[in-house]
Amino acid sequence: MIEAKGLTKVYGGKAAVGGVSFTVQAGQVTGFLGPNGAGKSTTMRMVMGLDRPTSGTVTVNGLPYAEHKAPLHEVGALLDAKAVHTSRSAYNHLLAMAATHGIPKSRVNEVIEMTGLEAVAKKKAGGFSLGMGQRLGIAAALLGDPQTLILDEPVNGLDPEGVLWVRNLVRYLANQGKTVFLSSHLMSEMAQTADHLIVIGRGRIIADAPVQQIIAGTRQARTLVRTSSASQLSALLAGDGVKVDQSETETLEVTGMDSRQIAQVALENRVLVYELTPQHSSLEDAYFDLTKDEVEYHSHLADGPAGEYASATAGK
Partner 1 sequence: MTTMTETRTRARSTASSTAGTGGVTFPRVLRSEWIKLRSLMSTRILLLLTLVAIIGVGGLAVLIRYTYLENMARTARDQGQTMTPEMMEKSFPPGSGFDLYNLPNAGLQIGILVLGSLAVLFISSEYATGMIRSTMNAVPRRTPAFLAKAILLAVVSYVITTVAAVATFLIAMPVFQGLGFDLDWSTDGVLYSVFTGGLYVAGVALIGLSLGTLLRNSAGGITVLVGMFFVLSIASSFMTLIPGEFWKYVPQYIPSEAGGRFLSIGHTDGVIDPWQGGLVFLGYVVLFLVPALVVLKKRDV
User: Is residue 68 within the footprint of partner 1 (CB under 8 A)?
Assistant: yes
| Rounded Cα distance, 93 and 84, in Å | 7
Q: Which amino acid is at 97?
A: M
Kindly give the pairing relationship between strand 179-184 and strand 148-152: parallel
Identified binder of partner 1 from the candidate list 48, 206, 236, 265, rule CB under 8 A: 48
Identified binder of partner 1 from the candidate list 6, 55, 96, 313, rule CB under 8 A: 96
| Torsion angle, alpha carbons of 200, 24, 108, 111, to 10 | -70
User: Is residue 2 within the footprint of partner 1 (CB under 8 A)?
Assistant: no
User: Is residue 73 within the footprint of partner 1 (CB under 8 A)?
Assistant: yes
The distance of closest approach from Cβ of residue 25 to partner 1 in the complex, given in angstroms and rounded to an integer, is 21
User: Is residue 235 within the footprint of partner 1 (CB under 8 A)?
Assistant: no
User: Is residue 102 within the footprint of partner 1 (CB under 8 A)?
Assistant: yes
Identified binder of partner 1 from the candidate list 14, 69, 270, 300, rule CB under 8 A: 69
The distance of closest approach from Cβ of residue 67 to partner 1 in the complex, given in angstroms and rounded to an integer, is 8
CB nearer to partner 1: pick between 40 and 45: 45
User: Is residue 88 within the footprint of partner 1 (CB under 8 A)?
Assistant: yes
CB nearer to partner 1: pick between 152 and 189: 152
The distance of closest approach from Cβ of residue 97 to partner 1 in the complex, given in angstroms and rounded to an integer, is 5
The partner residues of 203 in beta bridges, in order of sequence, read none
User: Is residue 17 within the footprint of partner 1 (CB under 8 A)?
Assistant: no
Identified binder of partner 1 from the candidate list 12, 13, 14, 104, rule CB under 8 A: 104
The distance of closest approach from Cβ of residue 89 to partner 1 in the complex, given in angstroms and rounded to an integer, is 7
Identified binder of partner 1 from the candidate list 23, 36, 87, 129, rule CB under 8 A: 87
User: Is residue 144 within the footprint of partner 1 (CB under 8 A)?
Assistant: yes
Query: Which parts of this chain interact with partner 1 (CB under 8 A)?
Result: 45, 48-52, 65-66, 68-73, 77, 79-80, 82-89, 92-93, 95-97, 99-104, 106-107, 110, 126, 140, 143-145, 176
